[in-house]
Structure formats: structure tokens, C-alpha cells
Structure 1
């Protein structure tokens, strides 16, 4: 499977190098990296990524800009916020689920929240496990999590489904 990571940055550049390093050090490297930033001049020039300038805070608008830059051969898209990091085996692990389960269109994987010192926070609003979403269970999951699955960096989605969503008004 070919994968892309879309990193969104809006006025927070303090952790972007750590976020990017977590992508570059994956056990399975992504085939494309897209960074959508309000101020691309704040990024390291040596980054081998597609950089898109988008000076607005809305995550959805930033993602729509990034979709235009996705390569045709990409199968799965991962999202990463500027102040988050991926676990070192995330892409490898999630790709295996997508390969095995053709019915799954998006996955919200579990996450650990940490403070600025790297200490794990014990917050109860997070999702403690993977949530596999397909067309048949979408309504049930939406009812179970009425406020949504809240961490953008925990989402991965089949590109074909992402493009389908973008087409809807």
C-alpha cells in the first residue's frame, strides 16, 4: 500500500521538527509527505515534502488543500497535527489493517497524551482502542461518540473515501 502523511501547521512551530521526525523514522516510510502551513518560511528548507501555504486555522480547509496535492498512486492518508508524534510502527501497523480489511474506510487509533515534559496524562475523554469505521457501522460509532473521535492525528483514511467526502457539498 502507498501512503501519504498530511501534516497541518497553524501558528505552532515549536514541535514541528519532532512531529516530522516521527514520520521520517517510521518502520515503513510514507511514500509522500505534505505539509500544510500558514507560514512555510518557518519550516526547515531541507524537508523532502510538498509544502502548501494555507493561512487559515480550519483543519478541514487545510486538508482540502492537501488533497489536491496527493499523488494518484496513494492508497491511505494519515493526518498529523503540528504538536503530535506518531508511534514508530504506526504506518506499518495501520497499513496491515487496511490490507486485511477492505471494508474499513477509516481508522481512529488509540493515542497517549503527554505533557511538555513527556509525562503521560491520564485523561478519560480519549479513545483507548482502535475504532475501525466502515459504511455499515458509521452511524453506530457516531452515536457512541457524539463529540466525535477527537484526535486528528489518530485518523487514517483510504484516499478514495477521502476524495469521495471532499466531493460532497
Structure 2
């Protein structure tokens, strides 16, 4: 049987990590090993991890890519699962995913999610739906489908990769600030490795409602997303990826400017609007159309554009799209 490693990452937050580990240990098939990479030490949590024989790694690395790369270097699994500290695995996820990797040649795997708020309630997720998509090659049309229809570049807790992909990507991964989920998908495309999209909801994705007002925003997050997009342009050369990365740079540059209250002249706002119009027409979807409208609004008022974005993100979780 394939060896499996679950890499759990946590940054400052302590409230959910025990639940995350228990969701792994309660799986119908236990993983070969669990590795936790976090930037804090806590006696109760560390004792809890020791009880479950979890490999506990402390790091002062602020980036998500740095944390996950540390976990990969310490891992021994043939397949690598990732779990954010605030998410949970369905009780049959490990068994079901290992079965898929045993039956198919897979580099990158992504399953659907069930959204939860605060504590998990209700019955376990069903694994009866056996529908999936399997790609042995990726062109622009298929990548568009992966990104917009199946959200394959979203939620690291829904991603599993082969050791082959991990070893090809780990050195580049160290420099990724936060966009690890998108990076892993792009790395699979760049290396021409097979991709599977599983329609079963095998991950519980937790949405934590912010208590902050619309004026209290961590603009560093938006800066990191923009920097990641610039980094992707440097390291990926695949023709299929090129357009999507360029689009991401334009969008994240615009969002960072309005969120951080950077000065945006009418000329700059018009340029952003024209650039995004091209991608809205080429890749029509609700997210690109929303940003297109936002850029048009910014021509008249950057502050109104900012307020509308924050309202939509917090009411519809559009940040995850």
C-alpha cells in the first residue's frame, strides 16, 4: 500500500488545530505519518501532538510555502496530503484518495469541499458520488475549466500530490508567500503531470466570519498575493499558464492598490479597467466580471470601489473564488 503523509500547517492560530488532527486520526484508514509545521510553541498543543506521535516542527518562517516545504523535506510518504489548521478531513478521505492514487497515475489531486462555520455538525460526508475528471494533458481550455469551473487552485486542504510532484516543486515552493494551492496546480501543469478532480466532498472547509469592520483590512495579504503572482511569472514558462498568470498580476495589483488605499489616478484606473476588460471578455466568469465592474467604479472613486469589494467578499466569500 502507498505510504501517506499529512502535512498540517498553523500560523499563530491555536483554536482549531486539535480538531484538525483528530479529523485525521479518526479516518477509516490512518496515514503513515502526520507532520505539523507551526510558528508557535504551546505546552497543551505540543503534548497533544506527542500523544498522537505527530512530528512537530517549529519554524519562524512567516510564509505558507516555507512551512509546507519544511514538511515535505521531513516527509516519507508516496502521496502527500495538506491540511490547514482550521479545516477538517472527512472520515473516509485518506482511504478514498489512496485508492485513487493506486488505480491512476496522478500528480495533482483535488476534491470538493463542504463549507462549515465554527464547529462541525451533522453526519459525515457521503462518498457515494464516484464522478471525477482525469486530465493527462492541459491546454488553455482545460486550465480555464480547472480554475473557474472546478476551483482546482483553491483550498490546500483539498489538495493531494504525488511525491514526484513534491520533489520537482519543493525548492520553488519555499519562496511562495501564501498562494500554495495555486502554485501546486501550476507546478503540475508545468511538469505535464496528470491531474484528477474528484467531485466528492472529502474536506470540510471552515469559513471564519471576521469581526472587524470594513475599514480594518490586512493589506499585507493582498500584497503577498500580488508578489506571488509576480513570482509565478518568473518560474513558470508553460504556454497554457502564461495568460492566467498575467491576468492574476493585473488583478492583484489593482486589488492591493485599492485595499491599501494607495493613490490611484484616473489615468491608472482607466488603464487597469482596459487591461481587465480584455480578460473579462476572453475568460468570462462572475469573478472577472466583478473585478471589471470594480475597476470601472475606481475611475470615479477608489474608496467606493474598496468598500464594495470588502462588502462582497465578506458577504459572499468571493475571496475564495
With the length of structure 2 as denominator, give the TM-score of the two structures.
Answer: 0.45
Q: 1:90 aligns with which of 84, 88, 93?
A: 93
| Change over 3 Å in CA distance of 1:114–1:67 after alignment to 2 | same
Q: Which protein shows a greater Rg? A: 2
| Change over 3 Å in CA distance of 1:141–1:39 after alignment to 2 | farther
- In the alignment of these two chains, the number of paired residues is 157
With the length of structure 1 as denominator, give the TM-score of the two structures.
Answer: 0.82
Structure 2: how far apart are the matches of 1:92 and 1:10? 28
Larger RCO, structure (CA 8 Å, separation 6 or more)? 1
Q: Which stretch has the larger CA shift, 147-156 or 19-28?
A: 147-156
How much is the aligned-residue C-alpha RMSD, in angstroms? Answer: 2.3
Distance apart, 1:115 and its partner CA: 0.8
Q: Give the unaligned 5+ runs of structure 2.
A: 123-130, 173-234, 236-321
Higher share of residues assigned helix: 2
Distance apart, 1:57 and its partner CA: 3.7
Alignment pair present for 1:166 and 2:186 = no
SS at match of 2:82: strand
Structure 1: how far apart are the matches of 2:87 and 2:66? 19
Q: 1:113 aligns with which of 112, 115, 119?
A: 115
Q: Which stretch has the larger CA shift, 28-37 or 159-168?
A: 159-168
Q: Give the unaligned 5+ runs of structure 1.
A: 121-128
Q: 2:67 aligns with which of 62, 66, 84?
A: 62
CA contact (8 A) 1:106 1:132 kept: no
